[in-house]
Amino acid sequence: MKADIRWLDDPEVFRVNQLPAHSDHSYYGETPLSQSLNGDWLFCYSVNAAGRPERFYEPDFDRSGFDTIGVPGHIELAGYDRLHYINTMYPWEGHVFRRPAHCADNHTDWEHSFSGADYNPVGSYVKIFDLDPGLRKKRVTVQFEGVEQAMYVWLNGAFIGYAEDSFTPSEFDLSQYIRDEGNVLAVEVHKRSTAAYLEDQDFFRFFGIFRDVTLFARPAVHVEDIAVQSDLQEDCLTGVFGLRMRLSAEGGKLPEGGAAEIVLKDAAGAVCLKRSLPLADVTELAPERLGAVRLWDNRDPYLYRLTVTLADAGGQVYETVPVSVGFRRIEIKETGGKKIMLLNGKRLILNGVNRHEWNAKTGRCIAREDMEYDMRILRENHINAVRPCHYPDRLLWYGLCDENGIYVMAETNLESHGSWQKLGGIDPSWNVPGSLPQWREAVVDRARTNYETFKNHPSILFWSLGNESYAGDNLAAMNAYFKEADNTRLVHYEGVVHNRAYEDRISDMESRMYARPKDIEAYLENDPKKPFILCEYMHDMGNSLGGLGSYMELLDRYEMYQGGFIWDFIDQAIEVMDEATGEPVLRYGGDFDDRPSDYEFSGNGVLFADRTEKPALQEVRYYYGRYE
Amino acid sequence: MDGTNNLNNIYNTDNMCHTPRENGGGKLRVVFGDVTLGLHGGGFSYIFSYMRAGLESLVRDGVEWLYRAPRPAFWRALTDNDRGNGFALRSGMWLAADQFIAGTGTQVWVDGKERPLLTGPANNRYSDREYADRVKIAFRYQTVTVPAAEVLVSYEVSADGAIAVDVHYFGKPKLPELPVFGMRFIMPTKAVSCRYEGLSGETYPDRMAGGVPGVYEVSGHVTPYLVPQDCGVHMQTKWFEVCRNTVLSNVTKGVSSAASAGRKGEALSAGDGGTAGTSRLRFEMTERPFAFSCLPHTPQELESATHQEELPLARRTVVSVFGAVRGVGGMDSWGADVEEPYRISGEKDIAYSFRIGGIL
């Protein structure tokens, strides 16, 4: 297959040759089976596709004019292309007139909208590497944990694949083309594609390879995907455990006689369950009752340890897969005419915060230490829930949430705010994804990737369809997907409040943002259909967060009011050297000659951009502590 | 001597700080000047100016604590939420009121008895040996708002040097909501720290539930919000002490031991960066706790900057003692007003008091 630049313009092409999304489990064998490709890459910047070095992926291409760039990182922070912060407006507002493909009969010029744009920068990345010894002679894939916003991949001159959906892993099989030494991995990253319509989040608009790039080698037999079922029965005592795995084998055929040994232990190491299953393409352990289990929640995030060991008939181990397992039950139950969200049989109260991934020096490219610091801030301030806004976070974050008992609203990478809200008014005349059939698969695929990647995390109580994307058949299709894939969690979406025709098909809860207490009362006093949450509230811009008490007292008055997520966790501002003094200073939208901009509107955290605490945090700590 | 002479010309801090020149029985020595009213006692010297409509000089142990006469405060640098909900469009006239104000009258009471005519020639009847137990002086101000409002500020000085300050804002129909109301004291040099007894952290009327009562010390820095804005307010304060270790005075030699008492014999030095040991000025509640802020910048300076690095070099101390503080709000930043109980009506009176502590 050959790469086609027009995929940038076509909403129906968003993944080519990518491996199906799968659980984020780790695995190990006797030798290391992964190899980081982070570090310096060769790099060439072009302002548009026409000007890019089109054949740069050919192994003998003359790359003597290439620069080097650090991976992971944003291209803008490496000095190429302008930093730009803008909220709801699409980033090309005032520069280019664009309408999404298929949105209206009179706009048929979308076919070159991105591939033919005068301004749509391209980063051409090349990494030359030898395979580590432990990865040789095995099936090898490459995983890009995050690349904005569209990418083409080649290895040793052969086209490998194409991916969008910037914030979830994109993985490609390299086995056919990889060599032990002298591999040439080429990645062409485009700043914008049709994905730009779906990634209109309120943030700095970056592009580039901004999360880890890793090679993975697969043992002869490998767990491609594992779905753990760790339910709690209605009695909120009895655990039910099962699992379903998809296995792959070198050469395509599983060896005869091997087995998958499944051992579930409690945190102290006592075996709770031990089973052995024959290896099969789809290996399934039917759900079994475990008796009384220790529950997982914010106060006691108790995790069991599952180990799956794949071995051949002689007991020789292929690989071992460890998975953390938590037993908990999230449901909406009607009691006394009130529909209430219960966690483990008790009313759930969300003392939450929205969290962008951010570091003032490196943007949305954040380190483990940043995440561990953030987790400490959550715990110390009685914040029990997080909404990764508005995209999936780095893989590591979800495991930290499991371990620390943080309830996660797992948001799909979707926001199309500028397509339906203009100058504050509602105008969905060219809303995407809306109900346009050509945009449906792109967003359902984003939902699927979100679910498949993170499904084993007990911390996730809700799947969220995304943020501020209005409502139509395609959002309804995402909702239906989650419902079909996972009957153990709830589905969240706020945007349906702007199009109530879909409210019976979208979102298990009434979710609003920035509703005033009296509006919440009005909903809850008038035969409410769904439990109520605020997916965003208390806009902590600058010196703010006054009046939190008026929301907290609603928790006492209405059982169906179940809390919310403060906007937001950390100011998004960038540290640069002051051109006047040479001192480090924090800059925001408009400070890079970027226009139009929304200026300081990205500074709404309970932390400053340098992660120091804002004074308002003590108010959060007080109220959230009272309702812990 | 880079700008330090101005102040020195007005008042030579060190040479003028005396213990009473004769034993007045622990009373205030009153100087019925032609332009000012001077009140002197053990370790303190205060000069109230009729011309400048306020307390022009507050000297303790030889250290001047005022840069200019204190003024009523009507403005806070807009918060992001103020900007978002259009507060300035409704209440912007208070910015001008904060910057410009007219003194419209002065009254003086000595030991409870009003002295109607104070300046020349009526003051010719006084001598160099005038003493009193307490002297009260009140200044009346008129704002530049439309309609204009009046503020009455009175200072009652007792023989121990304590100053009881009473502040009264007379509300007027049709005046818009206020961002704050209080008294602002600008001190000549930057404070090194500020101790207070009150609530932890930066608090506002609608964001103080999490404040923990206690005694705290703050550096007096601006809270580094992305866009500089009002900050540093401490609600429910029982007292605070501003701590400085620099003065503007040029005097480095020949300082009397009285002037340097309590400063371990170190000479006060000029404004070229020398230290003067540590001096403290204490503000205390009278009937009710109050709110205050102690920052190196005025609201106007904060208002003008779009980034922290645009703020001028911090060189003074801006202390505001508030009778009313508007909440910060936060339900959203694009329209939601501060909740009703945390707004300040311009139509109603605001009266409060506090005390500048005496010599212990």
Report the DSSP beta bridge partners of residue A41: A69
Contact A53, A136 (CB under 8 A): no
- The DSSP-derived string for A24-53 is ----B-SS--EEE--EEEEEEEESSGGGS-
For residues B311 and B295, what is the distance between their CA atoms, to the nearest angstrom?
12
Say which residue, B344 or B357, is predicted with more confidence: B344
Catalytic residue among A468, A494, A600, A619: A468
Q: What is the pLDDT of residue B220?
A: 78
pLDDT category of residue B116 using cuts at 50, 70 and 90: confident
pLDDT category of residue B275 using cuts at 50, 70 and 90: very low
Length of chain A: 628
pLDDT category of residue B360 using cuts at 50, 70 and 90: low
For residues A570 and A356, what is the distance between their CA atoms, to the nearest angstrom?
7
B49: pLDDT strictly greater than 90: yes
B12: pLDDT strictly greater than 50: no
Domain residue ranges in chain A: 5-218, 221-325, 342-570+605-626
CB of A530 within 8 Å of a chain B CB? The answer is: no
Length of chain B: 360
For residues A628 and A395, what is the distance between their CA atoms, to the nearest angstrom?
27
Give the closest of A549, A600, A604 to B227, CB-based.
A600
Residue of chain B whose alpha carbon sits nearest to that of A574:
B226
CB of A538 within 8 Å of a chain B CB? The answer is: yes
Q: How many domains does chain B fold into?
A: 1
B6: pLDDT strictly greater than 80: no
Q: What is the pLDDT of residue A274?
A: 98
By three-state DSSP, how is residue B96 classified?
helix
A266: pLDDT strictly greater than 50: yes
Distance (Å) of CA B138 to CA B28, B51, B153: 18, 13, 5
Contact A470, A439 (CB under 8 A): no
Give the closest of B80, B201, B203 to A544, CB-based.
B80
For residues B113 and A245, what is the distance between their CA atoms, to the nearest angstrom?
95
Helix (H) or strand (E) holding A187: strand A183-190
Q: What is the pLDDT of residue B256?
A: 56
CB proximity list for B203: less than 8 A, separation 6 or greater: A615, B211, B233, B234, B235, B236
> Which region among A432-441, A573-582, B19-28 has the lowest average model confidence (pLDDT)?
B19-28
pLDDT digits (tens, 9 = 90+) for B160-202: 999 999 999 999 999 999 999 999 999 999 999 999 999 999 9
- The DSSP-derived string for A464-483 is E--BS---SHHHHHHHHHHH
CATH code of residue B37: 2.70.98.10
pLDDT category of residue B13 using cuts at 50, 70 and 90: very low
Task: Tell me which residue range forms the domain holding B228.
Answer: 5-356
Q: Kindly state the average pLDDT of the residues A331-344.
A: 96
CATH 3.40.50.720 applies to domain A221-325: no
Q: What is the pLDDT of residue B358?
A: 81
Say which residue, B260 or A237, is predicted with more confidence: A237
CB of B309 within 8 Å of a chain A CB? The answer is: yes
Residue of chain A whose alpha carbon sits nearest to that of B232:
A615
For residues A330 and A231, what is the distance between their CA atoms, to the nearest angstrom?
9
Q: Kindly state the average pLDDT of the residues A289-316.
A: 97
Q: Give the side-chain half-sphere CA count within 13 A for B21.
A: 13
Return the structure tokens found at B216: 């705290």
For residues B108 and B136, what is the distance between their CA atoms, to the nearest angstrom?
6
- The DSSP-derived string for B326-351 is -----S-SSSPPPPGGG-B-SSS-EE
Return the structure tokens found at A470: 């209005």
Q: What is the pLDDT of residue B253?
A: 87
Contact A161, A190 (CB under 8 A): no
For residues A341 and B136, what is the distance between their CA atoms, to the nearest angstrom?
65
Q: What is the pLDDT of residue B24?
A: 61
Place of tokens 């609530």: B199
What is the bridge-based pairing of β-strands B163-170 and B150-158?
antiparallel
Return the structure tokens found at B272: 């070229």
B23: pLDDT strictly greater than 70: no
Contacts of A581 in chain B (CB under 8 A): 309
Size of interface A-B (CB pairs under 8 A): 124
Q: What is the pLDDT of residue A109?
A: 81
B17: pLDDT strictly greater than 80: no
Distance (Å) of CA A171 to CA A143, A174, A487, A545: 4, 9, 27, 42
For residues A517 and A522, what is the distance between their CA atoms, to the nearest angstrom?
9
- The CATH number fitting domain A342-570+605-626, selected from 3.40.50.150, 3.20.20.80, 3.20.20.70, 3.30.2130.10: 3.20.20.80
Contact A569, A605 (CB under 8 A): yes
Type of residue found at A17: N
B14: pLDDT strictly greater than 70: no
Q: What is the mean pLDDT of chain B?
A: 89
Residue of chain B whose alpha carbon sits nearest to that of A545:
B330
Q: What is the pLDDT of residue B238?
A: 98
A105: pLDDT strictly greater than 60: yes
Q: Is A536 a catalytic residue?
A: yes
Return the structure tokens found at A613: 């605490």
Q: What pTM did the predictor assign?
A: 0.95
Contacts of B224 in chain A (CB under 8 A): 586, 608
Q: Is A468 a catalytic residue?
A: yes
Contacts of A615 in chain B (CB under 8 A): 201-203, 223, 231
Contact A437, A453 (CB under 8 A): no
CB proximity list for A572: less than 8 A, separation 6 or greater: A85, A203, A204, A356, A358, A588, A602, A603, A605, A609
R_g of chain B, CA atoms, integer Å: 21
pLDDT category of residue B2 using cuts at 50, 70 and 90: very low
- The DSSP-derived string for A65-91 is T-EEEEESS-TGGGTSS---EESSS-T
Best of A380, A520, A543 to substitute, by most chain B Cβ atoms within 10 angstroms, is A543
Q: What is the pLDDT of residue A37?
A: 98
Q: Kindly state the average pLDDT of the residues B266-286.
A: 67
Q: What are phi and psi of A606, to 5 degrees?
A: -80, -10
Q: Do A543 and B224 touch (CB under 8 A)?
A: no
Best of B199, B206, B332 to substitute, by most chain A Cβ atoms within 10 angstroms, is B332
A356: pLDDT strictly greater than 70: yes
Return the structure tokens found at A329: 């039950």
Return the structure tokens found at B85: 């909900």
Distance (Å) of CA B213 to CA A627, B209, B216, B236: 21, 10, 9, 9
pLDDT category of residue A24 using cuts at 50, 70 and 90: very high
CB of A608 within 8 Å of a chain B CB? The answer is: yes
- CATH class assigned to A5-218: mainly beta
Q: What is the mean pLDDT of chain A?
A: 97
Return the structure tokens found at A227: 């779905």
Of all residues in chain A, what percent carry a pLDDT higher than 70?
A: 100
Q: Do B342 and A547 touch (CB under 8 A)?
A: yes
By three-state DSSP, how is residue B141 classified?
strand
For residues A352 and A340, what is the distance between their CA atoms, to the nearest angstrom?
17
R_g of chain A, CA atoms, integer Å: 24
For residues A78 and A45, what is the distance between their CA atoms, to the nearest angstrom?
11
Instruction: Starting at the earlier edge strand, list the strands of the sheet with A317-325.
Output: A271-278, A259-265, A304-311, A317-325
By three-state DSSP, how is residue B158 classified?
strand
